[in-house]
């Protein structure tokens, strides 16, 4: 009786430890023929000064614990996928005996067995192969700060506080499912990030800390393609169908903000979003899968484009490339299908490429005969950038008064710089101040902002 009570408590704690469980779980369970098969792995990870203590539980589709024999593969990797630790363990039923905390497997990893790394964040990867080839996997982020002196970008807490997500969707008449465990601290990290309201949302697509979880979605997509002999078009349409099943939610209702672009992890955990959110998620998945993708921005809508050699349907051209349109909201849209209401709309194309992305603002003060301009610039992209700051007074009809510019600024990814410029004020003119960024290689304006008009 005591053992049964303890097991019941563990089951309840796992079921309710996630921050979201969607309503499709019961429907999916009814479709399963083998409820005793392993659905997922639950990890209880604890850390002390010298070691990690890992408790591993195999969980079935009905949320009960399962005893299975097989090969357990445990690896630790840094954020560049360098392997720091690896161990294979043969699991038999004797491994489940005499464990006072319940039906699980205990593994101790000595910290001195983990290779050194310059990274602060890594992951523990668990793969369990059983029943002659079936495999279940899970990744859990882990702090590697004891191996590094670098400043930490995310401070993961070793905890079983996770968002347990279950997704079901239909493609070509078949129901597919996916279970994801997303650490709540990672979701909270993205929720806490400042929203950058820029035209090019590549900033949200390219953030690297969600790659492990996007890869798990991709692995499931590829498993479905292999099982059904799907081709490349099916592979892309399967991604679209996965995202399209997420409910459409308005930013004002779900976040309290009129405009709130979500990172992919937020859309997965929030179980939906608006057109920008689902487009960001779709672009992130396809980019991670190796496709050349772009965000397609309309005046009141957003979609995704994928560059295909043998594509057909509606596309948007950029630098000689054809990006075939993908609609990420509502079900049933395939590659190249464009909603009627968008066919006469002007669209901007933003390829998801390795590039600098500049977030900047400025302040100006007028003095006796001159103005002082202060510009703050941050490179939110993933490549080093070279720019100059430009300012002038508007003379109308494409002409300016007293143009001036800074020296070339080299800004590394994540780096911020402040530039101050002085400019002479034209006398007795109705004008406005023009402030912009110049590409250092071409001297072309890549972004520009204006003050209100005033009389000097």
pLDDT digits (tens, 9 = 90+) for 93-116: 777 766 554 567 878 888 888 888
My answer on whether 207 and 262 are in the same domain is yes
Mean pLDDT within 219-240? 93
My answer on whether 214 and 142 are in the same domain is no
DSSP-derived 3-state class of residue 30 = helix
My answer on whether 317 and 332 are in the same domain is yes
Structure tokens, 17: 């430890």
Comparing 72-81, 138-147, 280-289, 311-320, the range with the smallest average pLDDT is 138-147
My answer on whether 414 and 344 are in the same domain is no
My answer on whether 294 and 381 are in the same domain is no
| 355 Cβ contact list (under 8 Å, min separation 6) | 202, 381, 382, 383, 385
The CATH number of whichever domain residue 25 belongs to comes to 3.10.620
DSSP-derived 3-state class of residue 341 = helix
My answer on whether 249 and 190 are in the same domain is yes
My answer on whether 311 and 296 are in the same domain is yes
Q: Where does the pLDDT of residue 145 fall: very low under 50, low under 70, confident under 90, or very high at 90 and above? A: low
The pLDDT, as a whole number, for residue 8 is 34
DSSP class of 441: T
My answer on whether 221 and 330 are in the same domain is yes
The pLDDT, as a whole number, for residue 182 is 85
For residue 10, CA distances in Å to 57, 207, 408 come to 10, 35, 60
Q: What count of other Cβ atoms lies within 10 Å of the Cβ of residue 198?
A: 17
E strand map for 232-346: 293-297, 302-307, 315-318, 321-326
Per residue in 255-267, pLDDT (tens digit) is 444 467 999 999 9
Final residue belonging to a domain, choices 352, 380, 413: 352
My answer on whether 202 and 325 are in the same domain is yes
My answer on whether 55 and 193 are in the same domain is no
Question: How many domains, the chain?
Answer: 3
**Measured between alpha carbons, how far is 377 from 363 in angstroms, rounded to an integer?**
12
**Measured between alpha carbons, how far is 441 from 445 in angstroms, rounded to an integer?**
11
For residue 281, CA distances in Å to 185, 198, 262, 284 come to 19, 17, 9, 5
Q: Name the pTM for this structure.
A: 0.57
Q: What is the mean pLDDT of the chain?
A: 81
My answer on whether 213 and 299 are in the same domain is yes
My answer on whether 65 and 53 are in the same domain is yes
Structure-token match 């400042």, residue found: 194
**Measured between alpha carbons, how far is 181 from 414 in angstroms, rounded to an integer?**
29
Query: How are beta strands 454-455 and 430-431 bridged, if at all?
Result: antiparallel
For a pLDDT cut of 90, what percent of the chain falls above it? 41
The pLDDT, as a whole number, for residue 17 is 34
The CATH number of whichever domain residue 104 belongs to comes to 2.60.40.1940
The CATH number of whichever domain residue 416 belongs to comes to 2.60.40.10
Q: Domain span at residue 109?
A: 36-160
């Amino acid at each position: 009786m005591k053992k049964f009570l303890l097991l019941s408590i563990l089951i309840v704690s796992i079921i309710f430890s996630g921050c979201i469980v969607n309503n499709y779980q019961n429907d999916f369970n009814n479709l399963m023929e083998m409820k005793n098969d392993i659905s997922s792995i639950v990890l209880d990870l604890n850390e002390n000064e010298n070691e990690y203590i890992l408790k591993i539980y195999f969980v079935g589709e009905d949320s009960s614990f399962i005893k299975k024999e097989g090969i357990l593969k445990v690896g630790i990797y840094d954020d560049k996928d360098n392997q720091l630790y690896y161990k294979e363990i043969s699991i038999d039923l004797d491994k489940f005996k005499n464990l006072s905390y319940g039906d699980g497997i205990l593994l101790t990893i000595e910290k001195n067995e983990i290779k050194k790394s310059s990274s602060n964040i890594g992951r523990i990867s668990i793969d369990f192969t059983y029943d002659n080839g079936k495999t279940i996997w899970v990744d859990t982020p882990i702090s590697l700060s004891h191996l590094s002196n670098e400043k930490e970008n995310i401070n993961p807490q070793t905890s079983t506080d996770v968002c347990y997500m279950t997704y079901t969707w239909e493609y070509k008449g078949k129901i597919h499912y996916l279970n994801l465990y997303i650490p709540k601290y990672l979701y909270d990290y993205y929720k806490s990030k400042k929203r950058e309201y820029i035209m090019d949302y590549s900033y949200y697509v390219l953030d690297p800390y969600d790659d492990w979880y996007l890869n798990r979605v991709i692995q499931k997509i590829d498993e479905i393609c292999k099982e059904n002999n799907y081709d490349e078009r099916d592979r892309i349409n399967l991604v679209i169908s996965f995202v399209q099943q997420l409910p459409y939610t308005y930013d004002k209702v779900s976040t309290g903000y009129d405009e709130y672009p979500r990172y992919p992890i937020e859309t997965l955990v929030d179980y939906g979003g608006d057109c920008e959110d689902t487009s960001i998620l779709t672009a992130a998945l396809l980019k991670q899968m190796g496709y050349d993708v772009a965000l397609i921005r309309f005046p009141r809508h957003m979609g995704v484009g994928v560059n295909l050699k043998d594509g057909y349907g509606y596309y948007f051209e950029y630098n000689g490339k054809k990006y075939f349109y993908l609609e990420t909201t509502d079900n049933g849209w395939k590659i190249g299908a464009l909603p009627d209401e968008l066919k006469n709309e002007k669209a901007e194309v933003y390829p998801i490429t390795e590039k600098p992305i500049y977030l900047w603002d400025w302040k100006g003060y007028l003095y006796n005969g001159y103005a002082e301009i202060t510009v703050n610039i941050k490179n939110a992209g993933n490549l080093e950038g070279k720019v100059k700051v430009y300012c002038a007074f508007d003379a109308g009809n494409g002409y300016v008064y007293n143009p001036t510019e800074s020296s070339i600024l080299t800004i590394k990814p994540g780096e911020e710089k402040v530039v101050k410029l002085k400019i002479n004020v034209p006398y007795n003119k109705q004008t406005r101040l023009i402030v912009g960024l110049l590409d250092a290689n071409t001297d072309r304006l890549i972004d520009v902002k204006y003050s209100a008009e005033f009389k000097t």
